[in-house]
């Protein structure tokens, strides 16, 4: 058998090859053909070279990528791979290089920017992975907490201790066979990421004599790391919300031609060199790259009162966990999945798995350092030995599954490992919906995926309910919202009124004189801006600020009354939530003529977590980057869908042919019968 490529009706690639190395090469090649622009952008972002063709808007990221040493870390991790994994990754890279020219010829963005596809290096997939996840754990939140504590006190910082607008999340749930109609386990979920065009996940099937696996790959990375089904076992992940990256306050001073950094043992030589960032349409920008014993310096320098360095596990351990990826493809049981996860490093995930023999798995995987509790809450002084790392958290938390397990970024299994978790609303709602039946099917899962009940609405509505002295229009608004079913449906006028009221409350709290000191974020690099902006932080912490953690000096009852009068005075009763809440997918090369995206159901704390930024925009920037249901009774009965389509090429028939299904909550069938697929014989 030679390598053969098939497509299903949605253009999803199904690949058959003689052995794992040939299969990895074919995966790289088809990815380059389908997603050339996307993976080349990611390669350049990991190298800090994207401003050379994207312009000055990409400069902030490129500076950060250089300073945090993404590409160099990937090289170190690749050099530390075992020979078999390195060969497998190399086969994928060879396929990418073989397919890039043909893929770039299809993608109009290359001509629009003048970009010529480059050559992938053996470590590039590791760099792409690291670029996706370096901000995944949200270490800039420590800068925000320090900012709040400095101006309003430590208690105020705790009031904002929820997942922020830039943090990725997911829903996931595992049902034992005792809870399903088939008697076999079901595994379902939806990863919440920044919604991108092309999408961040790639539906794919990889088959050779050793294994036959379908799932969601990350373009530019071999294998199927996060969501896969081998026929005998399936696995899925969510963000554990663990804290495993530390920010150190550094004292730096120049010394001869170098830089000294103050550590626990006194002044020590730091590594330093200068790199140059090319910028399309502007002058080149020099960047001084400094690294202390703690890690790369990501803000400030020798001329500042203090600088900040970042210590993160892949750079310390010289490993990303890629050895797990080929082992996952070979897995046949949950024990195999569990064993493969011994390699996992970045990011820290909650993993669920089930197999056809009835095995179930629910555990945390990744590398979390042992250190002082304050390391998780704020930047800590580099010169104090108390804040040094002291080994690794082990064993990682796990739980027995007898009936069902739910994971939705809340403080549960991973509680010992983190500081800021998602509110419990999604997890509670999923559990409530699952517990309504004992004989659940694959078809029932779509109803859970698309549930729009907003549990977090109660905090604002409770304050509104106590509001006295409202004018007639505001009182009518209050009465409507108190009767509202709390569902953020696109066609709901009540949901629109609630969102408008919430936004008005958020803006008024953010503008309150008691928070004036937070309005101007500290002078950190622009890449950290999403974590440091006041209004988004208020929007995501609103439930706390109106309930258990009010801010001193802020009369929230008065704020809600004023906001109700404001909204009632301008209310348009024909306005529906979907008129405000539209998809705003990120593109590396924005389209200046783009029309508003499609109308969306859901909201941040709904199971259908289509997130906006209350007080800033109603547009959705983050949401389900895929949905899936893995059936352990019959793999061919599994279902999946992505927001756009299998192709990253605008105008291709499969660029956005899944969007209508994604919008309505439909899950598309997984095709496993090779005879029902179309073989693609053209040479690319």
Catalytic residue list:
170
How far is residue 170 from each of residues 15, 182, 249, 356, 610, measured CA to CA in Å?
28, 26, 32, 24, 11
**Length reported for the chain:** 684
Q: Which residues contact 336 (CB under 8 A, 6 or more apart)?
A: 233, 327, 330
How far is residue 479 from each of residues 464, 494, 569, measured CA to CA in Å?
9, 11, 15
Q: Which residues contact 303 (CB under 8 A, 6 or more apart)?
A: none
> Are the C-beta atoms of residues 670 and 35 closer than 8 Å to each other?
no
Q: Work out the burial of residue 395: count CB atoms within 10 Å of its CB; fewer than 13 is exposed, 13-18 middle, 19 or more buried.
A: exposed
As a whole number of angstroms, the distance between CA 90 and CA 20 comes to 12
Query: What tokens were used for 423?
Result: 């509110």
How far is residue 626 from each of residues 11, 191, 240, 682, measured CA to CA in Å?
16, 6, 18, 29
> Are the C-beta atoms of residues 35 and 43 closer than 8 Å to each other?
no
Listing DSSP states for 192-236 in one string gives: EEE-BSS-S-EEEEEEETTEEEEEEE-TTS-S--SEEE-SSEEEE
Count each helix (H run) and each strand (E run) in the chain, helices first: 23, 25
Residue 195 phi, psi (nearest 5): -80, 115
As a whole number of angstroms, the distance between CA 156 and CA 507 comes to 18
Give the residue among 543, 614, 541 at the shortest CA–CA distance from 162.
Answer: 541
Is the torsion defined by CA of 91, 93, 96, 100 positive or negative?
A: negative
Residue 499 phi, psi (nearest 5): -60, -40
As a whole number of angstroms, the distance between CA 509 and CA 539 comes to 9
> Are the C-beta atoms of residues 223 and 329 closer than 8 Å to each other?
yes
Q: Which residues contact 578 (CB under 8 A, 6 or more apart)?
A: 489, 490, 491, 599, 600, 601
Residue 431 phi, psi (nearest 5): -60, -40
As a whole number of angstroms, the distance between CA 224 and CA 247 comes to 31
> Are the C-beta atoms of residues 581 and 600 closer than 8 Å to each other?
yes
The secondary structure element, H or E, covering residue 411 is: none
């Amino acid at each position: 058998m030679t390598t053969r490529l098939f497509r299903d009706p949605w253009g999803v690639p199904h690949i058959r090859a003689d052995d794992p190395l040939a299969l990895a090469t074919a995966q790289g090649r088809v990815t380059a053909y389908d997603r050339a622009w996307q993976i080349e952008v990611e390669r350049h972002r990991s190298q800090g070279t994207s401003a050379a063709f994207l312009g000055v808007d990409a400069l902030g990221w490129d500076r950060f990528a250089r300073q945090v040493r993404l590409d160099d870390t990937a090289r170190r991790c690749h050099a530390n791979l075992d020979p078999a994994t390195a060969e497998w990754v190399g086969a994928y890279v060879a396929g990418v290089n073989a397919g890039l020219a043909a893929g770039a010829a299809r993608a109009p963005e290359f001509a629009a920017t003048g970009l010529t596809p480059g050559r992938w290096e053996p470590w590039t997939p590791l760099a792409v992975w690291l670029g996706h996840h370096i901000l995944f754990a949200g270490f800039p939140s420590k800068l925000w907490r320090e900012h709040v504590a400095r101006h309003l006190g430590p208690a105020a910082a705790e009031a904002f201790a929820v997942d922020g607008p830039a943090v990725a999340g997911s829903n996931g749930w595992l049902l034992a066979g005792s809870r399903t109609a088939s008697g076999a386990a079901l595994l379902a979920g939806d990863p919440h990421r920044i919604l991108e065009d092309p999408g961040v996940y790639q539906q794919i099937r990889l088959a050779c004599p050793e294994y036959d696996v379908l799932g969601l790959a990350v373009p530019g990375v071999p294998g199927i790391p996060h969501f896969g089904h081998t026929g005998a076992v399936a696995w899925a992940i969510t963000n554990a919300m663990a804290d495993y990256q530390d920010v150190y306050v550094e004292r730096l001073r120049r010394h001869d031609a170098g830089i000294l950094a103050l550590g626990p043992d006194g002044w020590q030589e730091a590594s330093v060199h200068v790199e140059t960032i090319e910028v399309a349409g502007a002058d080149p920008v020099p960047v001084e790259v400094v690294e202390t014993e703690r890690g790369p310096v990501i803000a400030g320098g020798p001329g500042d009162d203090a600088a900040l360095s970042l210590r993160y596990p892949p750079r310390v351990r010289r490993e990303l966990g890629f050895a797990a990826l080929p082992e996952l493809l070979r897995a046949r049981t949950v024990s195999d999945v569990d064993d493969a996860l011994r390699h996992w490093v970045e990011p820290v995930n909650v993993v669920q798995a089930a197999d056809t023999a009835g095995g179930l798995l629910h555990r945390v995987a990744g590398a979390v350092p042992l250190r002082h509790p304050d390391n998780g809450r704020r930047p800590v002084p580099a010169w104090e030995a108390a804040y040094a790392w002291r080994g690794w958290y082990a064993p990682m938390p796990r739980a027995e599954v007898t009936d069902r397990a739910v994971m939705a970024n809340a403080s549960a299994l991973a509680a010992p490992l983190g500081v800021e978790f998602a509110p419990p609303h999604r997890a509670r709602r999923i559990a409530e919906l699952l517990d309504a039946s004992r004989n659940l099917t694959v078809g029932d899962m779509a109803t859970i995926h698309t549930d729009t009940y907003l549990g977090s609405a109660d905090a604002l509505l409770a304050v509104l309910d106590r509001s006295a002295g409202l004018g007639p229009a505001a009182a009518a608004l209050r009465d409507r919202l108190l009767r509202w079913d709390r569902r953020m449906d696109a066609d709901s006028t009540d949901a629109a009124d609630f969102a408008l009221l919430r936004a008005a409350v958020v803006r008024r709290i953010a503008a309150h004189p008691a928070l004036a000191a937070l309005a101007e974020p500290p002078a950190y690099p622009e890449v950290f801006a999403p974590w440091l902006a006041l209004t988004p932080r208020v929007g995501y912490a609103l439930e706390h600020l109106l309930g258990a953690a009010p801010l001193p000096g802020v009369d929230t009852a008065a704020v809600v009354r004023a906001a109700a009068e404001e909204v009632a005075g301008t209310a348009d009763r024909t306005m529906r939530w979907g008129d405000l809440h539209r998809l705003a997918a990120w593109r590396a090369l924005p389209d200046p003529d783009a029309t508003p995206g499609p109308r969306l159901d859901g909201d941040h704390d709904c199971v259908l977590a289509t997130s906006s930024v209350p007080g800033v925009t109603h547009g959705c920037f983050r949401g389900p980057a895929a949905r899936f249901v893995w059936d352990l009774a019959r793999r061919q009965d599994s279902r999946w869908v992505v927001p756009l389509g299998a192709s990253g090429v605008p105008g291709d028939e499969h660029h956005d042919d899944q969007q209508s299904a994604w919008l309505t909550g439909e899950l598309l069938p997984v095709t496993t019968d090779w005879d029902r697929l179309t073989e693609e014989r053209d040479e690319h």
